[in-house]
């Protein structure tokens, strides 16, 4: 599994579950989101990811002197590569050849014996990723600029250190993860924005443009989808012959033959299309995987994609040669109109190419499987969006920015970031029983008079959270233990040693209230008799 849900946030993801959804009480608790006029309220959640492929590095443990290119000043022995002090040295390998700009990677390396000098880590010869000046285990996540396929370690002349346990992994990038909001009856609403911070994936979607109602979040983990169990919709997806395709030039010269769909540019612009009838599963929610692979692309501003009749299914612009374009998604049984009988692939030139330019697609595919039989799909709890948030307040938890912006800060299993993620829930809360916790000390003087020597007074309340479900209580427990715990922008602190909700007799209720004591962080007064 590449994507891993994190517990204790308002969006609670579980693998391909079969819960009852809706806003009715019998369907359980729904996480509430408002629609503030300034557009600041948004649905946020976070997942972690782990590599779903083996390390790209060969002989990263340096068991033998092989797979690495290095000069005489770097010696491979005893499970490490050690630099010999005197002149600069380097060691490199080329693991990134199959990948392109926009892919996301992790790097792990252990450094030992470093008492002087530094080790610079490069992609290629000029893209410096980071520099190492002390011993330790280093992890780095980045979108490399691919000026070269090499992973390169360069040692300064005075460097006396060694590297070992080198591994690099291709991770999922924003374009490879599908996350979207849909209604509880399975109608697609909108895609989530996605941002990467180290091994964390941050998802967000503003609520202001949404219609009021109930929704669920779905996330597809492409590493877990069993593509081999899916059914191909196209006949002749590899364009072996023209017999299964109706080809129209659309202002270009188009042909299907010999394993390619070829469009040759003329004097104008247009879209060449290859069309055939299709059948989609009906009566079930369906997981799909759409993909097409380019071959030669000679013209600029070339687009391509799959359409259902006149409705876009999946498309991409600015096509690059010898590149795979793909997308996962889910559709309900009524996603397509029954009168739409044709599926087409188009290859289009947005601006006039040089006459004679050849642009080709080597294959096009749409694979499907009933969602109930598929894997790799995460489904959330119920999400309710409403402009009426009477009786609720925004309760938030933030981590202190101990790392320089734009880096995030790990805390409570999350990666907090001022722009992409913090814990935020809209809850019914009530302050009650105001009281003044006091610590005092009196001095008795020799004349028999008692005088106040010290006093500390705070203002405190009992804070009750209205009935919520177990997941939201986990979220509250995380929020009140963040570096900064806020309610409607006012910062509070609690000294509770245990967070407990009242689930009723025998503890079997689905929702429950909880109460904690809170104080404002700036609400303490002192008398030090000075």
DSSP 32-57: EE---TTS--EEEEEEEE--SS--S-
Does 341 score more than 60 pLDDT? no
Name residue, tokens 């290629």.
124
Question: In this predicted structure, what is the pLDDT of residue 448?
Answer: 81
Q: List Cα–Cα distances, 425 to 33, 394, 472, 473, in angstroms.
A: 8, 6, 8, 11
d(CA 394, CA 252): 56
Q: For the segment 55-99, what is each residue's pLDDT rounded down to a tens digit?
A: 999 999 999 999 999 999 999 999 999 999 999 999 999 998 888
Could you tell me the strand order of the sheet in which 246-248 lies? 246-248, 270-277, 342-349, 302-308, 311-316
d(CA 186, CA 84): 63
Q: For the segment 427-448, what is each residue's pLDDT rounded down to a tens digit?
A: 999 999 999 888 888 887 888 8
d(CA 459, CA 436): 5
First to last CA, the chain: 62
Contact between residue 106 and residue 199 where contact means Cβ atoms under 8 Å apart? yes
Lowest mean pLDDT of 170-184, 349-363, 476-490, name the range: 349-363
Kindly report the CATH number that applies to the domain delimited by 225-374.
2.60.120.260
Q: For the segment 385-431, what is each residue's pLDDT rounded down to a tens digit?
A: 999 999 999 999 999 988 777 788 999 999 999 999 999 999 999 99
In the chain, domain spans: 69-171, 225-374, 391-527
Matching CATH topology for 69-171 and 225-374?
A: yes
Portion of the chain with pLDDT greater than 70, in percent:
92
Q: For the segment 137-190, what is each residue's pLDDT rounded down to a tens digit?
A: 999 998 887 767 899 999 999 999 999 999 999 999 988 898 999 888 778 889
Portion of the chain with pLDDT greater than 90, in percent:
51
| Domain at 69-171, CATH class | mainly beta
Q: List Cα–Cα distances, 102 to 146, 164, 297, 343, in angstroms.
A: 9, 27, 19, 30
Give the three-class secondary structure for 389.
Answer: coil
Does 323 score more than 60 pLDDT? yes
pLDDT (mean) for 264-277: 80
DSSP secondary-structure letter at 246? Answer: E
Does 20 score more than 70 pLDDT? no
């Amino acid at each position: 599994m590449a994507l891993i849900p994190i517990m204790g946030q308002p969006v609670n993801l579980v693998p391909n579950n079969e819960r009852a959804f809706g806003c009715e009480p019998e369907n359980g608790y729904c996480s509430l989101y408002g629609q503030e006029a300034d557009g600041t309220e948004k649905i946020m959640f976070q997942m972690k990811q782990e590599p779903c492929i083996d390390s790209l590095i060969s002989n990263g443990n340096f068991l033998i002197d092989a797979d690495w290119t290095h000069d005489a000043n770097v010696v491979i022995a005893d499970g490490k590569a050690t630099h010999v002090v005197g002149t600069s040295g380097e060691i490199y390998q080329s693991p990134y050849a199959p990948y392109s700009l926009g892919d996301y990677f992790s790097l792990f390396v252990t450094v030992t014996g470093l008492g002087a000098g530094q080790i610079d880590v490069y992609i290629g010869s000029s893209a410096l990723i980071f520099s190492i000046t002390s011993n330790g285990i280093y992890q780095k996540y980045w979108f490399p600029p691919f000026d070269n396929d090499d992973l390169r370690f360069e040692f300064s002349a005075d460097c006396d250190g060694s590297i070992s346990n080198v591994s690099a992994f291709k991770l999922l990038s924003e374009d490879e993860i599908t996350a979207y909001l849909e209604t509880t009856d399975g109608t697609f609403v909108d895609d989530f924005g996605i941002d990467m911070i180290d091994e964390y994936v941050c998802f967000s979607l503003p609520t202001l443009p949404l219609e009021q109602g109930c929704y669920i979040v779905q996330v597809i983990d492409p590493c877990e989808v069993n593509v081999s169990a899916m059914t191909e919709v196209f006949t002749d997806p590899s364009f072996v012959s023209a017999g299964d395709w109706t080809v129209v030039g659309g202002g270009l010269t188009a042909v299907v033959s010999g394993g390619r769909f070829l469009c040759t540019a003329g004097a104008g612009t247009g879209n060449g299309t290859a069309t055939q009838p299709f059948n989609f599963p009906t009566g079930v929610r369906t997981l799909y995987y759409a993909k097409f692979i380019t071959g030669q692309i000679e013209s600029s501003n070339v687009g391509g994609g799959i359409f259902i009749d006149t409705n876009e299914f999946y498309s991409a612009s600015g096509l690059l040669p010898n590149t795979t374009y793909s997308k996962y998604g889910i559709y309900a049984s009524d996603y397509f109109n029954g009168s739409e009988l044709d599926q087409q692939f188009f290859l289009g030139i947005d601006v006039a190419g040089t006459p004679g330019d050849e642009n080709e697609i080597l294959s096009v595919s749409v694979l499907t499987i009933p969602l109930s039989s598929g894997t790799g799909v995460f489904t959330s709890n119920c999400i309710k969006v409403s402009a009426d948030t009477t009786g609720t307040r925004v309760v938030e938890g933030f981590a202190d920015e101990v790392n320089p912006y734009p880096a995030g800060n790990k805390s409570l299993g999350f990666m907090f970031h001022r722009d992409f993620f913090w814990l935020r829930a809209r809850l019914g809360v009530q302050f009650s029983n105001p009281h003044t916790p006091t610590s005092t000390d009196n001095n008795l003087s020799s004349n028999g008079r008692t005088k106040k020597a010290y006093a500390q007074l705070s203002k405190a309340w009992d804070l009750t959270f209205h009935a919520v479900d177990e997941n939201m209580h986990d979220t509250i427990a995380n929020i009140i233990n963040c570096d900064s715990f806020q309610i409607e922008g006012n910062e509070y602190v609690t000294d509770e040693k245990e967070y407990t909700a009242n689930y009723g007799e025998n503890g079997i209720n689905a929702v429950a209230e909880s109460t904690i004591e809170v104080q404002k962080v700036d609400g303490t007064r002192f008398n030090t008799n000075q």
